[in-house]
Structure 1
Amino acid sequence: MPLNPVPSHDTAENDRIINYRSRFELPHRRYLVLGGGQGTGRQISHALAQLGAEVVVVDVNRDRADAVCVEIGSPATPEQADATDNSDMAALSERAGELDGVVDVIGMARYGPLLDISDDDWRWEESIVLRHAVLTLRHFGPRLRDRGEGSITFVSSVSGIGSSPVHAAYGVYKAALGSLVRSAAIELGPYGVRVNAVAPGFVVTPRISAILDAEAIENTRIQIPLQRLTLPADVASALAFLVSDLARTITGQVMIVDGGITNKYPYDMSSF
């Protein structure tokens, strides 16, 4: 398998003004979105399509995948697969055909004290947070490696960067996802394949909106330095950047998208 060719250095390249818009647009490219049927997955599916790419929308629920493809129109293709199942992912890889990249947005947290987490909950979190990422690399990494270019982009979480009280298992496996991203970036980099992740903070997804009332969401908003809630579209915007050629030398990174909350000093110093 040939390694990614290293271009010879041309000093004239330093002075040439490139077409930056062309680096962001994605014509004649094809991406697969795992978990594309709702929330951030739905948003990144639309984002990639608007940038000119053909999108394969994958969801464990075929109706959701179908609905997003109807919204997008052509070219968008629905697929049903359980991303945590090795056989499903192997079959999906065969059906998907040639791809320029994969975006994997799957993940969910169960809440409760660390000391009360059951074995079943540990296993469930490992599957829904980490296993699908391992399977994505296993089944789609070789295709991109052999092609000699492409990107694999995941959704991590700030819970995997700092502490994650009351959802510790989720944080543990998101931290492992960050390590996986960095290792994969090193191994696949020589073949022209970039591997990155976006780490959102509190995101107002449809699921969060269903379980938290307006007061709880507002109490969260006022703690954020930007005083702005992160929406699925904001996470999708960061993903679209990492997928594009604007990020062509960015790999092995976990980009934080949280309105600045992880940088905030834990005490209110405004009266000092």
Structure 2
Amino acid sequence: MASPLFDLTGKVALITGGSKGLGKAMARGFAEAGADVVICSRHADELEQALPEILEGTSVRGRSFVVDMTNRSEVDALAKSALEAMGKVDILINNAGSNVPQPIDAITDKDWDRIVELNLTSCMSLSRALIPQMKQRRWGRIVHISSVMGLTSKAGRSCYSATKAALIGLARAMALDLGPYGITCNCIAPGPFLTDLPASVLSPAELDEFATRTALGRWADPKELAGPALLLASDAGSYITGTTLVVDGGTLCKTF
């Protein structure tokens, strides 16, 4: 029998970027733990395929919404739609993000503004919109998906690393604001997880290099993030707040 500490029955979890990769894996983990789930993405076809797979074999409810997280009015509308559809949101996973590798002297204003809006500002905006109803119930879990690139970096990742490091600072400050209301806020910093994003921006040689940088010598499967997310989203993590959980297969401990 599963520990009640990880039981999310009766909770509602909203996962941005939930149609594939890490977001989909976390949504599936929450559904298996008993939570109703809301996912969003820019692509309706991906959502239509992902939601049944997330809910398969469970008795939980699920909804999906097409949202451009770089559009603040759409982010606000997402919060309202999720609350209207599900009645509440207990768990918020700010997972949507992207990366446009560019050296510092080649970053365009357009790319910088879009990545900052998506990776950082949307997390603030959606949190801001959903926190009041969490405060009313004096329970909530907010998790920003940062990255090991927020703790270290690589050439050409100035914008990405800046936004992912900023999420770590945002989580610390939010934890102080929200602690008195029983709401925790943390970051997860994934390392090399084999999702569409690294596959689209890294060469085969770079993919191999990242694998050898880990202590385990491999890329992670997205499913391997479900457990850490469940810890921070459940009563099992009730005394964890304002911190960053690194899930990187030992990447940061391997200097040489």
- State TM-score, norm by structure 1: 0.85
Name the residue aligned to 1:58: 40
Identity among equivalent positions (%) equals: 29
After superposition, the C-alpha distances for 1:59-92 in whole angstroms (9 at most, x for unaligned) are 1222222211111335211122222322212222
In structure 2, do the counterparts of structure 1 residues 207 and 173 end up closer, same or farther at CA, with 3 Å as the change threshold? closer
Aligned residues: 248
Name the residue aligned to 1:81: 67
| 1:115-126 map, 5 Å | 115-126=105-116
SS at match of 2:176: helix
| 1:135-154 map, 5 Å | 135-154=125-144
SS at match of 1:262: coil
After superposition, the C-alpha distances for 1:179-199 in whole angstroms (9 at most, x for unaligned) are 111101100110011111100
Q: Which amino acid counterpart does residue 81 of structure 2 have in structure 1?
A: R
SS at match of 2:92: strand
Name the residue aligned to 1:95: 81
Q: CA deviation at 1:139?
A: 0.6
In structure 2, do the counterparts of structure 1 residues 50 and 130 end up closer, same or farther at CA, with 3 Å as the change threshold? same
1:38 aligns with 2:28: no
SS at match of 2:3: helix
C-alpha contact (below 8 Å) 1:20/1:246 kept by paired residues: no
Q: Which amino acid counterpart does residue 24 of structure 1 have in structure 2?
A: F
Q: Which amino acid counterpart does residue 153 of structure 1 have in structure 2?
A: V
Name the residue aligned to 1:105: 95
More displaced stretch, 66-75 vs 179-188: 66-75
Q: Which amino acid counterpart does residue 75 of structure 1 have in structure 2?
A: R
Q: CA deviation at 1:257?
A: 0.9
Q: Choose the corresponding residue for 2:31, options 37, 49, 53.
A: 49
Structure 1: segments with no counterpart, 5+ residues: 1-18, 268-272
C-alpha contact (below 8 Å) 1:104/1:153 kept by paired residues: yes
Q: Which amino acid counterpart does residue 157 of structure 2 have in structure 1?
A: H
Q: Which amino acid counterpart does residue 104 of structure 1 have in structure 2?
A: N
SS at match of 1:221: helix
Q: Which amino acid counterpart does residue 37 of structure 1 have in structure 2?
A: S
C-alpha contact (below 8 Å) 1:84/1:135 kept by paired residues: no
How far apart, CA to CA, are the structure 1 residues paired with 2:94 and 2:81? Answer: 17
C-alpha contact (below 8 Å) 1:104/1:155 kept by paired residues: yes
* Pairwise CA RMSD: 1.8
C-alpha contact (below 8 Å) 2:192/2:248 kept by paired residues: yes
In structure 2, do the counterparts of structure 1 residues 150 and 235 end up closer, same or farther at CA, with 3 Å as the change threshold? same
After superposition, the C-alpha distances for 1:236-262 in whole angstroms (9 at most, x for unaligned) are 321121111111100111111111111
Q: CA deviation at 1:212?
A: 4.5
Q: CA deviation at 1:202?
A: 2.0
In structure 2, do the counterparts of structure 1 residues 186 and 39 end up closer, same or farther at CA, with 3 Å as the change threshold? same
C-alpha contact (below 8 Å) 1:34/1:105 kept by paired residues: yes
- State TM-score, norm by structure 2: 0.90
- The structure with the largest alpha-carbon Rg is 1
How far apart, CA to CA, are the structure 2 residues paired with 1:211 and 1:169? Answer: 14
C-alpha contact (below 8 Å) 2:76/2:126 kept by paired residues: no
Name the residue aligned to 2:11: 29
